[in-house]
Amino acid sequence: MPLAWSVQGEPIRIGLTPVFLDDQTSFVEDWRAYLERRLGRPVAFSQRSSYRDIMDLLLQGKLDFAWVCGYPYARYESELRLAAVPVYQGQPLYRAYLIVPSGDTATRSLADLRNKLFAYSDADSNSGYLVVQYQLLGMETRSGEFFRRTFFTGAHRKVVEAVAAGVADGGTVDGYVWDVLNEFHPELTSRTRVVSRSETYGFPPLVARRGVDDRIMREVQGALLSMDRDAEGVALLKRLSLDGFTQGSSSLFDGIRRMMAAVRGSSGAAQP
Partner 1 sequence: MLHNLSFRYKVPVRSSILILVTAVFVTVSLMYRAYDDMRRDLLFNAEGMSRVLVRTLVPAILHDDVWQVYEVIQSAYPAAGADTTLASELIMVLDAAGNTYVANQPKRFPMLSDPALGGPEFALLKRAALQHQEETPAVVDLDLAEYLYLVMPIVSDRVRLGSLVLGFPRSLFLPRFLTIAKRAAWMTLLSLAVLLPITWYWAGRMARPMIQLADCMARLGTTTPEHMRCDLYESQDEIGRLGLSFRRMLAELQEKHALERQIVVADRLGAIGRLTSSIAHEINNPLGGMLNAIDTFKRHGNCEDERTHRTMSLLERGLLQIRDTVAALLVEAKAGSHTLKPVDIEDIHTLVAPEAAKKSARIEWHNELRMPIDLPATPVRQTLINLLLNAVHAVEENGLVRCRVWARDGRLHMQIINDGRHIPADKIEHLFEPFSPLSETGHGLGLWVCYQIVQQLGGDIQVHSEPGSTVFTVVLRYGENE
The residue ranges that bind partner 1 (CB under 8 A) are: 103, 117, 119, 148-149, 151-154, 158, 162, 165-167, 169
* Beta carbons of 156 and 17 less than 8 angstroms apart: no
171 vs 255, beta carbon nearer partner 1: 171
For the CB of residue 46, give the shortest distance to partner 1 in the complex, in Å: 22
For the CB of residue 125, give the shortest distance to partner 1 in the complex, in Å: 14
For the CB of residue 149, give the shortest distance to partner 1 in the complex, in Å: 6
For the CB of residue 25, give the shortest distance to partner 1 in the complex, in Å: 18
Alpha-carbon distance of 220 to 22, in angstroms, equals 23
- Helices 131-138 and 254-267: angle between axes, nearest 10 degrees: 60
66 vs 132, beta carbon nearer partner 1: 132
Taking the alpha carbons of 251, 210, 25, 49 in that order, is the dihedral positive or negative? negative
∠ CA 191-86-88 to the nearest 5 degrees? Answer: 50
For the CB of residue 151, give the shortest distance to partner 1 in the complex, in Å: 4
Alpha-carbon distance of 199 to 180, in angstroms, equals 19
163 vs 256, beta carbon nearer partner 1: 163
For the CB of residue 127, give the shortest distance to partner 1 in the complex, in Å: 17
For the CB of residue 101, give the shortest distance to partner 1 in the complex, in Å: 8
Alpha-carbon distance of 143 to 130, in angstroms, equals 11
Alpha-carbon distance of 160 to 182, in angstroms, equals 10
Residue 56, number of CB atoms within 10 A of its CB:
14
Residue 201, number of CB atoms within 10 A of its CB:
27
119 vs 206, beta carbon nearer partner 1: 119
* Beta carbons of 263 and 134 less than 8 angstroms apart: yes
163 vs 260, beta carbon nearer partner 1: 163
* Beta carbons of 48 and 15 less than 8 angstroms apart: yes
155 vs 224, beta carbon nearer partner 1: 155
Alpha-carbon distance of 70 to 254, in angstroms, equals 10
73 vs 118, beta carbon nearer partner 1: 118
